[in-house]
Amino acid sequence: MTQPAMFLAHGSPTLAIEDNAYTRFLKQLAQQLPRRPRAVAVFSAHYDSPVQAVSDDEVHETIHDFYGFPEEMYTISYPAPGDRELSRQIGDLFRANNLPFELSAGRGLDHGAWVLLRAMFPQADMPIVELSVDSRRTPAEQYAIGKMLTGLRQDNVLVIGSGGLVHNLRLLEAEASAPSNWAVEFDNWIGDQLKTWNLRMLFDYKQRAPHVRDAVPFYAKEHFAPLLYAMGAADDERTASKPFQDYQYGSISLNCWMFGGAGNGPID
């Protein structure tokens, strides 16, 4: 059975120690897959590079790439194995599509990757290859890079994009009891394009989406990019569903979008 590709919001790093609806969803998510993946390839918003990078490690170190959080956050270790065979397989796909890339050893997993994967695969026994994104590329280019990995899904590899559709730390409301209307309107507009696989509108989201400057500020556009990479990896099926949606601090969107694979109905 073919694995889906998926976009997962990683929210605040404190998701690693929180018990809420989203963390409970993540802990059940792996059981909802068609079968256990042989490996995960994850595009992380916190690995933004002009040259496409592909991790190449036997065992990943855990990067604590945040500050000002509870001390226990800095003691978490997630020593998941790498998959050098998959790293080279991905490199071959990039090479075949004339995409310059580099195999990168020793960097470790950033929190965009390990916070989510630790919830999904808590035993740290799932082989992982982390991939960079390039926030300077156009949406069409980001989608095209994801599309290069479409065949991996038939090879039982789970492709994940980790980021945040609405991610503006300057507009957080610590005491918010409900999501901000502008954040919901942006999410809903993006959702309409995903459900109909409207690439023309989606690739032009910076000009067309409501509240886009608040939802995707210039200093955090790398958080939106993983959506396009994950979506491109399901270009062969072009189906989309959203099994989870919630918000933190009024506007930080916590959602999961699944593309292709089992459980997604046809696009209308």
pLDDT at 206 > cutoff 70: yes
Q: How far is CA 1 from CA 28, 37, 239, 243, in A?
A: 19, 10, 16, 20
Q: How far is CA 174 from CA 121, 133, 169, in A?
A: 30, 29, 11
Local confidence band at 238 (pLDDT 50, 70, 90 cut-offs): very high
Rounded average pLDDT over 20-37: 96
Mean pLDDT across the chain? 95
* pLDDT number for residue 175: 80
* pLDDT number for residue 172: 86
Q: Which helix (H) or strand (E) holds 240?
A: strand 240-248
Rounded average pLDDT over 9-32: 96
E-state strands within 113-239: 128-133, 157-163
Cα 148 from chain centroid?
16
Residue 58, both tokens: 């036997």
Strand partners, 53: 102
Give, in words, the CATH class of 5-164+217-233: alpha beta
Do 134 and 45 touch, CB atoms closer than 8 A? no
* pLDDT number for residue 1: 80
pLDDT at 169 > cutoff 90: no
